[in-house]
Amino acid sequence: MGSHVNIEATFDVVVVGAGHAGTEAAVAAARLGARVAIVTSALETIGQMSCNPAIGGVAKGTVVREVDALGGIMGRATDLATLQFRMLNRGKGPAVWAPRAQCDRGLYRRAVRSLLEEHATLATIQGTVARLLIDEGSVVGIETLEGRRFGASCVVLTTGTFLRGRIHIGTETKLAGGRAGEPPAVHLAEQLESLGLQVARFKTGTPPRIDGRSVDYSRLERQESEIEAFDYSWSHFWDSPRRAGETTRHPRQLPCWITFAGDEAKAVVRENIGRSAMYGGAIGSRGPRYCPSVEDKILRFPDAERHQIFLEPEGHDTHELYVNGLSTSLPVDVQLRMLHAVPGLESARMTRAGYAIEYDYYPPTQLDATLQLRALSGLFFAGQINGTTGYEEAAGQGVVAGYNAALRARGETPLILGRSSSYIGVLVDDLVTRGVDEPYRLFTSRSEFRLTVRQDNALRRLAPVALERGAFDEREARVVERRMTEEDRSRDLAERTSIRPEQAAPVLAAAGSAPLAHSMKVVEVAKRQGVSLLDLLRAAEIAELPAAEAAVTAELEIKYGGYFERERAQAEKMQRLDAFPLGGGIPYGEMRSLSMEARQKLLALTPATLAQASRIPGVSPSDLQNLVLEIERRRARASG
Amino acid sequence: MAGDATRPAPTSAVAALGALRGGSDTIAAIATPPGRGALAIVRLSGADAEQVASRVVAGWPTPARVATLAILRDPATGEVLDEAIVTRFEGGRSFTGEPMVELSTHGGVVTSALVLGALLAAGARQAAPGEFTRRAVASGKLTLTQGEAIGDVIDATSRAAQRVALATLDGGLARRVVALRDALLEVEALIAYEIDFPEEDDGPIAPARVSESVARVASMLDALLATAPAGELVREGAVVVLAGPPNAGKSSLFNALLGQARALVTPIPGTTRDAIEAVVDGRSWPLRLVDTAGLRETADSLERLGIEVSERYLERAQVVLACAEHAAGLAATCAWISRLTGAPVIEVATKRDRPEAEPVASGSAALEVSAETGAGLDALLARIEDTLATALGAPSFDAPVVTRARHLVALRAAREELAAFATAWSAAALPAPVMAVHLRSAVGALEELIGVVDTEDVLDRVFRSFCVGK
């Protein structure tokens, strides 16, 4: 058939889209040795941050480190582009420290592109994908609007908000667009729908941006960067650790500014609520509850006195500021009046208007746990196309899709990260098992393993997986090894080293902890709340101190090991259920001891294991028991 | 099958699923108690119930959910066994959730046994005790607590037990546990908000807000746990021990009380050396009457064994009847009892029908009874009930009561986790997310009782209560 004629080149994996999901998918596949092409409408927008210029945050920061531990690029690019850094939850102890970096958008984009180009087997191609080439129920390639055709064993779609994207500003203005100023993808959307896939719409929004030179900073609270010896990535500088106080890895740091929407701004919104695209009826789709538009905030929480606004720098090359907290779909005149009602922004010039965007997503319960579409083999989905929101969530899915596309092309067993291994594992499992009813974002509360799945131990959790699949070269493997060894050495030093009362005194006093009566092992003293292991080792005059980050991981194990054990026991329980394979071909429809709802859900989702089945809403514990019995009985019959 | 060898053994998963497993083959049993009666009901349940019934019931299938007169035949010989009322229930619309058939046969032991035999010959299996209920739970027709309550209704030894079991069946206990879980999730949501949304408008949660919520849940849990002793009483009966010297007339009194109560439910046979128990229906509580061996100093090792049994009963008595013919005997018995238990003691002067009986001294609290004439028995029963009511309070039947060891274990576990959390929270001794492990464990213990698990619930609460997101 026509599918095979005029093929310009053939790849193992073709990635469509070069945002945070697409770039990670391409890099992951390339790391596994696949021949990869990444196809995007404009090469200049590779790694574009469409919304807030921040990477990380609670749970999300951990995902960045997981992506990094699996060989991804988000952490590296962020380290090179950070212009403002904060460690969130610092007061709540290292167990929930959450790094977040504001980035220079331009630097970030350029870093991503050059990190892609580090891989010789990764081709970047400009083009708008018009359709998939399909042969006998499998994807075999893609064709662009320009008429270029590429063959592929696997295709990863990371279309973000581009599929039939529609931008709303007020009730009057509707623009077709995948992002402000860029056209939507329509042909591909129509083909996907014609394949019989279930499709739905979500909306998300973005705030206006302003010219920093028009802001009255005297009325704003200044928030300095907490730049410190923190790197998202283990990789690029680990073998030449930074000297103390040295921050040259990042560009010069810039402050953020805090103001608020008070009564005046609230009144502007309330008076014009009927002109909002969301409240005026122009948008019917569902948006997220946790990143609400200013309209949502004011209507749903009328008692809140004020809503915080963060003014975030867009980059070193511009005065433009991102007005974080004022996401809106009000018409431009109202946006401007609202801005002017905010302290410090009385005469602000709006550089870009905020908008809401509606786009197609494909309910992710149509995917298996490798993010491959069940209905069409070789086709993988990652990022917002699966109904998620957030750069980090997109990147995490990109890595999973990239690994699995490459592994499929190689004919190897797929990679499925468990819930107890990572937030990425939780994310993928939630998506394919439970589906989404609002744009999905990660929270620590989504994980059963909040204590053992942390940002500081991502490498220990996931690097073995990456190494096993051959994602790292020898040099990288040695660096990983060093990082792990350093962690073990910290623990070892703590157990072997004694500290005298006078040595420990200043460290303990600083933590408000009682002095020692006699010499003790450091490991015992480090159990105390607020007492840092590294400080103790330094006070005990250890010649070669372990690296700070490795010492934190060791310290947490010392302090909270007992609690960690509880989670590990829980993880083991879950793994026992995971060891009960289900897979395809099970006649759930005939299992009359299962509830009708359970039968339908199991048929639709074909969970890979009993553990996954246990998490499907509508499958009760008794359904599970009966399921085990039904399967046992069938097995007994088949073998007897 | 060759492919099976490479699959991980499923046994660990089966083990993980635990004790609730029920079969789905087809089971049959006589549902009515043995003995004479106008009717007996034979039940059949399972995937193949229809097939089994078709081999026994003439004119099968009968209309669903309609009581239909039908001839029952032996599947092997074709012999007519009975003419019965047959009701067919489709799967999903029956008690067990499976396809079910109920056969109302003529009464008596023989007919129903023949019909059951025919069903077994036609492919059914004899049901194990409680298996129908277990299947109803397994199919989701009953919640676990409701399923257990049905077991209690069947086992109920008195009106009181039946009332509490019925209240549980209503889902009363389940509702209380659900409410407790909800309250705990609210606290979890506060902690989740703290961790997941560190930069929000509402700012940090005041520590007192968490402490207050925890204290509220703790008191709810305590209130439920406080019903556990009453729950045990309702299930087991209040232990009323008859104690006294040998030949004080305890056994006669025991039998007379059983006769007087006219509601003998479970005589438990024993030898004269051991204690004899029987449960009678009291006004508020079932009474577990225990006749014990006579108390006296003895060198006889055999007799000593019997006395030790008596003493063990005394240790767990809720009320003791100190029985003796004479004042001296009463005094000695009371002294003996007081070494073993602090339970209230009712002094009973026995054999008051005997002409030689010495009159009770004025001012004595002893009740005069005669097992022979029945004199004083009503007063004694009334005194037992009053004493129990004073000591234990009246049972409250509208509030659910913890009647099962399983419930008690789970509720206690939840309570302990909550206490650990409260201690750590008030001392700020651990980071919040570490402490939250205790909350999750507490929620987990409750969820095991009612069989729901969902972390989404916590987030729902966060989003409902706080304006989050920039």
Amino acid at site A504: A
Could you read off the pLDDT of A233-263 as tens digits, one per residue?
987 545 555 444 444 567 889 999 999 999 9
Q: Is B356 on the interface with A (CB under 8 A)?
A: no
Amino acid at site A575: Q
Domain B233-392 architecture: 3-Layer(aba) Sandwich (3.40)
Among A465, A281, A434, A451, CA closest to A365: A434
Among B10-24, B155-169, B228-242, B416-430, top mean pLDDT goes to: B416-430
Domain with CATH 3.30.1360.120 in chain B: 22-138
Task: Give the residue ranges of DSSP H helices in A579-620.
Answer: 596-605, 610-614
Q: Is B235 helix (H, G, I), strand (E, B) or coil?
A: helix
Among A261, A378, A281, A275, CA closest to A324: A261
Among A584-588, B142-146, B342-346, top mean pLDDT goes to: B342-346
Is residue B267's pLDDT more than 50? no
Report residue A408's pLDDT band, with 50, 70 and 90 as the boundaries.
Answer: very high
Q: Which of B144, B196, B452 to mutate to test the interface with A (most CBs of A within 10 A)?
A: B196
More confident residue, B440 or B365: B440
DSSP string spanning B303-324? HHHHHHHHHHHHHT-SEEEEEE
Q: Is B427 on the interface with A (CB under 8 A)?
A: no
Is residue A434's pLDDT more than 60? yes
Q: Is A383 helix (H, G, I), strand (E, B) or coil?
A: coil
Q: What is the residue whose two structure tokens read 């998918």?
A: A25
Q: Give the N- to C-terminal CA distance of chain B in Å, as an integer.
A: 57
Is residue B251's pLDDT more than 90? no
Among B194, B144, B197, B138, CA closest to B174: B144
Here the tokens at position B37 are: 């009666």
User: How confident is the model at residue B171, as a pLDDT?
Assistant: 63
CATH 2.40.30.260 is held by the domain A209-355: yes
CA distances B54 to B67, B73, B80, B126, B127, Å, are 16, 10, 14, 18, 19
Strand partners, A498: A521
Contact B433 A324 (CB under 8 A): no
Instruction: Please tell me the distance from the alpha carbon of residue A455 to that of residue B110, in angstroms, as a whole number.
Output: 73
More confident residue, B395 or A537: A537
Is residue B270's pLDDT more than 80? no
Rg of chain B's alpha carbons, rounded to an integer?
29
Amino acid at site B8: P
User: How confident is the model at residue B395, as a pLDDT?
Assistant: 58
List Cβ neighbours of B154 (8 Å cut-off, separation of 6 or more): none
Among A459-473, B31-45, B368-382, top mean pLDDT goes to: A459-473
Q: What is the mean pLDDT of residues A49-70?
A: 94
Fold type of domain A579-639: DNA polymerase; domain 1 (1.10.150)
Domain with CATH 1.20.120.430 in chain B: 172-227+403-465
Is residue B162's pLDDT more than 70? no
Could you read off the pLDDT of B35-60 as tens digits, one per residue?
445 678 899 999 899 999 999 999 88
Inter-residue contact A385 to A164 (CB < 8 Å) = no
Q: Which of A626, A628, A639 to mutate to test the interface with B (most CBs of B within 10 A)?
A: A626
Contact B17 A630 (CB under 8 A): no
Contacts A–B by Cβ distance under 8 A: 165
Instruction: Please tell me the distance from the alpha carbon of residue A340 to that of residue A280, in angstroms, as a whole number.
Output: 23
Q: Is A448 on the interface with B (CB under 8 A)?
A: yes
Q: What angle do CA A151, A155, A158 make, to 5 degrees?
A: 135
Decide: residue B272, CB within 10 A, 0-12 exposed, 13-18 middle, 19+ buried: exposed
User: How confident is the model at residue A60, as a pLDDT?
Assistant: 95
Domain with CATH 3.40.50.300 in chain B: 233-392
Report residue A585's pLDDT band, with 50, 70 and 90 as the boundaries.
Answer: confident
Q: What is the mean pLDDT of residues B318-342?
A: 89
Q: Give the N- to C-terminal CA distance of chain A in Å, as an integer.
A: 47
Instruction: Please tell me the distance from the alpha carbon of residue A404 to that of residue A67, in angstroms, as a whole number.
Output: 14
User: How confident is the model at residue A132, as a pLDDT?
Assistant: 96
Is residue B184's pLDDT more than 70? yes
Contact A628 B14 (CB under 8 A): yes
Q: What angle do CA A322, A50, A60 make, to 5 degrees?
A: 90
Q: Do domains A8-205+359-456 and A579-639 have the same CATH topology?
A: no
Among A434, A444, A632, beta carbon nearest to B196: A444
Is residue B109's pLDDT more than 60? no
Contact A310 B470 (CB under 8 A): yes
Q: Which of A245-259, A604-618, B48-62, B144-158 has the lowest mean pLDDT?
A: B144-158
User: How confident is the model at residue B467, as a pLDDT?
Assistant: 59
Q: What is the residue whose two structure tokens read 């039947």?
A: B397
Could you read off the pLDDT of A527-569 as tens digits, one per residue?
998 899 999 999 999 988 998 888 999 999 999 998 999 888 8
B residues 133-162 closer than 8 Å to A (CB): 137-140
User: How confident is the model at residue B14, as a pLDDT?
Assistant: 33
Q: Which residues of B touch A88 (CB under 8 A)?
A: 198-199
List Cβ neighbours of A181 (8 Å cut-off, separation of 6 or more): none
Q: Which of A293, A437, A593, A595 to mutate to test the interface with B (most CBs of B within 10 A)?
A: A593
Q: What is the residue whose two structure tokens read 């009581």?
A: B67
Contact A529 B10 (CB under 8 A): no
Q: What is the mean pLDDT of residues A319-335?
A: 94
More confident residue, B162 or A221: A221
CA distances A335 to A269, A346, B422, Å, are 9, 12, 47
Domain ranges of chain A: 8-205+359-456, 209-355, 474-566, 579-639
Here the tokens at position A235 are: 């990789």
Is residue A37's pLDDT more than 70? yes
Is residue A288's pLDDT more than 80? no
CA distances A496 to A319, A523, A527, A540, Å, are 54, 8, 15, 11
Instruction: Please tell me the distance from the alpha carbon of residue A346 to that of residue A336, in angstroms, as a whole number.
Output: 10
Among B197, B202, B431, beta carbon nearest to A96: B431
Contact A292 B469 (CB under 8 A): yes
Report residue A574's pLDDT band, with 50, 70 and 90 as the boundaries.
Answer: confident
Could you read off the pLDDT of B348-369 as tens digits, one per residue?
998 888 877 777 776 778 888 8
Is residue B18's pLDDT more than 60? no
Instruction: Please tell me the distance from the alpha carbon of residue A298 to that of residue A307, in angstroms, as a whole number.
Output: 9
User: How confident is the model at residue B138, as a pLDDT?
Assistant: 66
Here the tokens at position B401 are: 């009561």
CA distances A419 to A368, A452, B293, B452, Å, are 15, 11, 62, 19
Q: Is A90 helix (H, G, I), strand (E, B) or coil?
A: helix
User: How confident is the model at residue B110, as a pLDDT?
Assistant: 65
For β-strands A307-313 and A173-176, DSSP reports them as unpaired
Could you read off the pLDDT of A444-465 as tens digits, one per residue?
888 889 899 999 999 999 999 9
Give the CA-trace dihedral at B306, B310, B313, B314, to 10 degrees: -160
Could you read off the pLDDT of A177-198 as tens digits, one per residue?
888 788 888 899 999 999 999 9
Percent of chain B scored above 70 by pLDDT?
A: 73
User: How confident is the model at residue B463, as a pLDDT?
Assistant: 60
Please, what's the b/e burial string for B240-259 (b: 16 or more CB within 10 A of its CB; e: otherwise)? Answer: bbbbbbeebbbbbbbbbbbe
Task: Give the residue ranges of DSSP H helices in B59-171.
Answer: 109-121, 131-138, 144-155, 159-169
User: How confident is the model at residue A152, as a pLDDT?
Assistant: 97
Percent of chain A scored above 90 by pLDDT?
A: 65
Which CATH class name applies to B22-138? alpha beta
Strand partners, A86: A100
More confident residue, A466 or A239: A466
Strands, E assignment, B264-377: 276-281, 286-291, 319-324, 345-349, 367-368
Q: What is the largest CA-CA distance in chain B?
A: 95
Is residue B166's pLDDT more than 80? no
Among A96, A581, A595, beta carbon nearest to B195: A96
Q: Give the long-range contacts of residues B457-464, CB within 8 A, separation 24 or more.
A: B457/B185, B458/A445, B458/B185, B458/B188, B458/B189, B458/B192, B459/A443, B459/A445, B459/A446, B459/B189, B459/B192, B461/B185, B461/B186, B461/B188, B461/B189, B462/A445, B462/B189, B462/B192, B462/B193, B462/B196, B462/B197, B463/A289, B463/A290
Inter-residue contact A378 to A153 (CB < 8 Å) = yes
Contact B467 A297 (CB under 8 A): yes
Please name the residue of chain A whose CA is at the shortest distance from the CA of residue B462.
A290
Query: What is the pLDDT of chain A when averaged over all its residues?
Result: 89
Q: Give the long-range contacts of residues A171-174, CB within 8 A, separation 24 or more.
A: A171/A274, A171/A275, A171/A276, A171/A277, A171/A280, A171/A281, A171/A282, A171/A331, A172/A331, A173/A331, A174/A282
Contact B13 A451 (CB under 8 A): no
Inter-residue contact A539 to A557 (CB < 8 Å) = no
Q: What angle do CA A218, A219, A225 make, to 5 degrees?
A: 75
User: How confident is the model at residue B305, as a pLDDT?
Assistant: 75
Is residue A385's pLDDT more than 90? yes
User: How confident is the model at residue B313, as a pLDDT?
Assistant: 84
Q: Is B265 helix (H, G, I), strand (E, B) or coil?
A: coil
Which CATH number applies to A474-566: 1.10.3720.10, 3.40.50.2300, 1.10.10.1800, 2.70.70.10?
1.10.10.1800
How far, rounded to the nearest angstrom, does the alpha carbon of residue A2 sit from its chain's CA centroid? 39
Decide: residue B2, CB within 10 A, 0-12 exposed, 13-18 middle, 19+ buried: exposed
A residues 96-125 closer than 8 Å to B (CB): 96, 98
Is residue A273's pLDDT more than 50? yes
Residue A152, sorted as left (phi over 0), alpha (psi -120 to 50) or beta, turns out to be: beta
Please name the residue of chain B whose CA is at the shortest distance from the CA of residue A300.
B467
Instruction: Please tell me the distance from the alpha carbon of residue A486 to that of residue A459, in angstroms, as a whole number.
Output: 12
Q: What is the residue whose two structure tokens read 């030949």?
A: B247
Q: What is the mean pLDDT of residues A132-160?
A: 95
User: How confident is the model at residue B231, as a pLDDT?
Assistant: 74
Q: Which residues of A touch B432 (CB under 8 A)?
A: 92, 96
Q: Is A288 on the interface with B (CB under 8 A)?
A: yes
Among B85-94, B112-121, B193-202, top mean pLDDT goes to: B85-94
User: How confident is the model at residue B464, as a pLDDT?
Assistant: 61
Q: Is A511 on the interface with B (CB under 8 A)?
A: no
Which CATH class name applies to B172-227+403-465? mainly alpha
User: How confident is the model at residue B160, as a pLDDT?
Assistant: 57
Is residue A82's pLDDT more than 90? yes
Instruction: Please tell me the distance from the alpha carbon of residue A592 to that of residue B97, in angstroms, as a whole number.
Output: 9
Which CATH number applies to A8-205+359-456: 3.40.50.12780, 1.10.287.110, 3.40.630.10, 3.50.50.60?
3.50.50.60
